[in-house]
Structure 1
Amino acid sequence: MAAKIGRFEIVRMLGKGAQGIVYLARDSHLGRDVAIKTLHATQDGMGALLQEARIVSKLQHANIVTLFDAGEHEGAPYLVYAYVQGQTLAQLLHAEPGLPLTRAVQIVSSLLDAVAYAHAQGVLHLDIKPANIMLSATGQPQIMDFGIARSISQPPQSRIEGSPHYMAPEMVTGKKITPRADLYSLGMLLYALVTGQPAVEGDDVQEVLRKTLHDATTAPSERNIHVDAQLEAIILKALAKNPDDRYANAAAMNQALQQYLDPTREDEKSGHDGKHSTLEFLLRRMQSKSDFPILSSTLSEINRVVDDESASTNILTKTILQDFALTNKLLRLVNTVTYGQFGGKINTISKAVVILGFETVRNVAMTLILFEFLQNKAQAAQLKDDVLSSYFAGILAAQFSSGRNIRDAEEAMICSMFRNLGKLLATFYFFEESQEVARLVEQGDGEEKAAVKVLGIGYSELGVGVAKSWNFPPRLLAGMQRLVGEVIKPYGELETLTVTVNLANELCAVIAHGNAEQQTQGIRKIMKRYKDAVAITEPQLRAAIESSLAEMSARAGIVSINLAQSALMKKMRQWAGEEEPVAKQQPPEVDSMAGITRLDMGHIADADDGDADRHDADAILSAGIQDVTNTLVEDHQLNDIMQMVLETMHRGMEFQRTIICVRDAKHNVMAARFGFGKDAEAMLPKFRFPINTTPDVFQIALSKAADLSIADINAPNIADKIPAWYRAMVTTGSLLLLPIVIKEKPIALFYADMPTANSMQISQRQLSLLRTLRNQAVLAIRQKM
């Protein structure tokens, strides 16, 4: 083997065929790994490789392996491709015959995106098969080997080229080749992915080709009972013998697959038998039932807002305030010793969001939702150790992230915690089935294989599917992916994240099961599997695990779990040589390796403390006043102050809605700017009224600078002073108006309401605090005038 090909240093051979060899090489100029494809030094070989280069150079797509360069070495042509760390679909199918339906459909859907793009560039692949599909370490499928690809306008070949098991009938007969030939191959690929075997088999090539032309395709449901009628119809349509009976193009086939994946779709075809995949059933149930913790819907919305680059602090604050429990827990977290550098106590979500940042808030919410699984009292005992195992794996992943090529240890912790989301969901919703999976594992099946047998989908795919419905960002989804087979050196930061997450989870699983000898053997086996991917010694690994155990004990207070009662933690302590649980909380670490999740638990109220979430309006209002005061002496934005004041009023008094209106001087109207509470967002465009002398409650408040608390808007002495525009907009029982008037000029108005008459109970102390908040807003406006 040559030491170099051109400027590329050969590392090792990746594969060898009749026509040439593929090498892993190092580009010394650009400092990156590449895959070099060579052909033997023949005229045909040179022509074929140059043809491939011309075709692939046109294609730049996330699901097509990128061509970097082309050249000639010692008379032999070569192509330089991006090196994709992972495995081919053929290798995956050899290890796991038959993939979960959802995963199979997702893979083919991604490939259809690539094929549609290639077709738009006038290129047909014509050799799509498992061996020509790479799966990266993060699970992303990419098409490679355009060796027999050609232009759509080229005439048919006189000779048969391609792989017999995946070749369209028209390619066998030499008829006109259209883009639908690639759709046939993708249909064959999907068939193989869901059944574990090709649709057409034979003792030799001639028999395979004969069956391709003449034999009816065996229904995939006959080989896998979990293939439902809708997916079967999609596959069989793609495999029609007549190209005109297939999908019109790649986009149409992809649309059908996307409709299959969409859990909210309506069954359009009459005669559909109503069977759905486990993932679809689960998503439907989570959408329609109230038995899953409410934080899941809040988390989905938080993810959506965080990923919206145009979203404001106000929008994220409103999302969090919709969930009272999340609000309180978040405020406890931000007031730990970790955030002492910000100075003073943080008492409003508005300020917390500014300090933590959007992505940290998302990570905090994800941490909190994990423990909401324990609200399921029926399976709480089973779920407890599963949740603790996931949490411990997250802490361990954060430990491993220190000093590695990972941009955020928090992300490593979140990915690691949610890598087992599918198993947690199965225990939560399909308890009996999850017990059957556990029984099969005890009999020797791998957990993913056992889950597929029982549920029709692996735990990993189930978790990723639900995480997608919760709007998890692509980075976290990639980090959650399970690695199979040989673990090779990661390429880039995202693959390093995935490797770290998988290593942490596998180590956690080993420690949690078996005796000391089995644990030691298991750890050494994992070390061997990851030796090319992670530079860590066994002593370093043990030190990281022991450190994580200590940190786990320190963090237990936030979720009010007695680790001494956990069989899992007892097993882990025994492995670490601890006879008793750590009674004394560990001091906070100085470094910021795990960010928000590295906390001083001694400063957080116990989650089950009866006083922890008790609503104290006076305390919340007073704390908010202090928050605003601290901010006023700092460099601040007026909008931030107004939002903090509004939030404190809303959360402290538990109003139905709280809105701030600001004067529009040009049109001499008071118009709602932002607000919190029920339907507040929908009210904002309608909450707009002119400033005039009409004797209604709004004009009285503004003209006389009068604070008005109206217990019943329908009381005889009040009813005629409620304007028609207001009654047409909303039905309320009582309301509060706190105007901002500066130099006898109305500037703004705080509005709050309650749904029924006499439901707005405000003590003199609370009214005084509300007025103080309003006066702080006045001061902030004066400072900016």
Structure 2
Amino acid sequence: MGETGKLAGRYRLLNPLGGGELLLAFDEREHRDVVVRRLRVPPESLELAVTEARRAVGLAHACVVPLLDVPVEAGEAWLVMEFVSGSSLEQSVLARRPLPVLQAARVGVHLLSALETAHAAGIVHGRVNPANVLLTRTGRALLTGFGLPALGMRPPADMWSLAATLHFAVEGRPPGQAPVEGTEPLRSLIRAMLSPADTPPVRTVAETLRRLAMDRSLDQVVAAGGPMPPAEVAAIGLAVLEQLVEPHARGEHHGGVQPGSVLINEWGHATLVPRLAPAQLPAFTPPEGAGSPAADLWSLGATLFAAVQGQPPAPGAPLSMAGALAPVLFDLLSGDPGRRPAADVLRRRLVGVLEHNG
């Protein structure tokens, strides 16, 4: 450092931030507050680290804390970042409590969008973690830490770290050897992202997070408002059925149809989220197991039963609130897969319930 307390002749160092790794500084050339951090690497790796860090300068995204400069002085490199007011995800969760699912999903949307932009530019973050996520007062999540050594990491490493960060957001702990259980779609998504065998495509992750950030699951809707009218439940059944038809035609099955995997938007439209390492609830698993298209239809029937009655089906449970939907549910919940209605028949019968209640 040349002039006392000044870096690169323009950044006047002020006071430490957080744990001391970061320093508040004032950019005398641009007349703005900035944050600086020493780039700690072995001397023999300094040139390569600076070259890699400077690739991130100018990376522009609404959810990225911009890296402004990477000056080198007296054999030391520094990262100069835009100053952003906010608390880290780590601080927020430890000081208060884990985030609600809706807020955590929004954090995921923001972070994934930032990572997609970085990856498209050939930049890997390499250090996605709760300490490098800033939560602003407006509810936006910002990813900081670009420019730190990524140790030759590739984009899949960032995706795994994103999942671990979201795990911390909803559970208050890292995944460790026992990732979170539960049937809620965000937790299923996190488990899938943490599993090398089940990792979903980035596009699926983005779409699921986007929906989870806006919509409520069917079980949340029923818990908040009680049993739903038969016509609304029939409309949900039609929407989910249409999303099962194409996979079933290919001989595929979902295997995780249940109220937690059906999302309802503000207009009441239903979307079935992809099967993402779900923890299937026994009440929504057919007698023969969840391994076929016919099993999906049984699970759909159980899901609609729970929506219209306010509780999952059980032996001898009455269908007192189902009205014209009752015969449809009775057939869907048959213990004999061959007696469950085919998709075209089921579609006509659900439309009939809508017309009956129209």
TM range (shorter): 0.5 to 0.7
For residues 193 and 65 of structure 2, what CA distance do their matches in structure 1 show? 24
Aligned position for 2:79: 79
**Mapped contact 2:49–2:149 kept (Cα < 8 A):** no
1:255 aligns to 2:207 (yes or no) = yes
Amino acid in structure 2 at the alignment position of 1:24: L
For residues 45 and 87 of structure 2, what CA distance do their matches in structure 1 show? 26
1:9 aligns to 2:34 (yes or no) = no
Per-residue deviation at 1:62? 1.4
The 1:48/1:16 distance shift into structure 2, 3 A limit, reads farther
Per-residue deviation at 1:98? 0.9
**Mapped contact 2:54–2:70 kept (Cα < 8 A):** no
Amino acid in structure 2 at the alignment position of 1:189: T
Question: TM-score, normalising length from structure 1?
Answer: 0.27
Q: After the TM superposition, which residues 481-630 of structure 1 pair with which residues of structure 2 at under 5 Å, given as runs?
A: none
Q: After the TM superposition, which residues 29-428 of structure 1 pair with which residues of structure 2 at under 5 Å, given as runs?
A: 29-39=29-39, 43-44=43-44, 46-47=46-47, 49-57=49-57, 59-146=59-146, 147-149=148-150, 178-200=154-176, 211=177, 217-221=178-182, 228-242=183-197, 245-249=198-202, 251-263=203-215, 267=240, 268=243, 269=254, 271-275=256-260, 284=266
For residues 143 and 182 of structure 1, what CA distance do their matches in structure 2 show? 12
Amino acid in structure 2 at the alignment position of 1:108: G
1:10-55 residue CA offsets vs partner (Å, 9 max, x unmatched): 22112557xxx42101112221100111246962463365144223
Per-residue deviation at 1:120? 1.0
**Mapped contact 2:88–2:135 kept (Cα < 8 A):** yes
The 1:270/1:260 distance shift into structure 2, 3 A limit, reads farther
For residues 127 and 264 of structure 1, what CA distance do their matches in structure 2 show? 31
The unaligned stretches of length 5 or more in structure 1 are 151-156, 158-176, 201-210, 212-216, 222-227, 289-785
Question: TM-score, normalising length from structure 2?
Answer: 0.57
The 1:111/1:23 distance shift into structure 2, 3 A limit, reads same
| SS across alignment from 2:35 | strand
**Mapped contact 1:195–1:220 kept (Cα < 8 A):** no
Per-residue deviation at 1:194? 1.0
Greater relative contact order structure (CA < 8 Å, 6+ sep): 2
The 1:229/1:181 distance shift into structure 2, 3 A limit, reads same
Bigger helix share: 1
Per-residue deviation at 1:118? 1.1
For residues 99 and 233 of structure 1, what CA distance do their matches in structure 2 show? 16
| SS across alignment from 1:24 | strand
Per-residue deviation at 1:178? 4.3
For residues 193 and 120 of structure 2, what CA distance do their matches in structure 1 show? 19
The 1:42/1:123 distance shift into structure 2, 3 A limit, reads closer
The 1:41/1:98 distance shift into structure 2, 3 A limit, reads closer
Identity %: 28
For residues 52 and 103 of structure 1, what CA distance do their matches in structure 2 show? 33
Amino acid in structure 1 at the alignment position of 2:10: R
Larger gyration radius, structure 1 or structure 2: 1
**Mapped contact 2:102–2:212 kept (Cα < 8 A):** no
The 1:57/1:99 distance shift into structure 2, 3 A limit, reads same
Per-residue deviation at 1:114? 0.8
For residues 262 and 138 of structure 1, what CA distance do their matches in structure 2 show? 16
For residues 260 and 41 of structure 2, what CA distance do their matches in structure 1 show? 55
For residues 36 and 197 of structure 1, what CA distance do their matches in structure 2 show? 28
**Mapped contact 2:111–2:143 kept (Cα < 8 A):** yes
The 1:75/1:113 distance shift into structure 2, 3 A limit, reads same
1:738-770 residue CA offsets vs partner (Å, 9 max, x unmatched): xxxxxxxxxxxxxxxxxxxxxxxxxxxxxxxxx
Amino acid in structure 2 at the alignment position of 1:85: S
The 1:73/1:230 distance shift into structure 2, 3 A limit, reads same
Aligned position for 2:300: none
| SS across alignment from 1:123 | coil
The unaligned stretches of length 5 or more in structure 2 are 218-238, 244-253, 270-358
For residues 14 and 48 of structure 1, what CA distance do their matches in structure 2 show? 27
Aligned position for 1:592: none
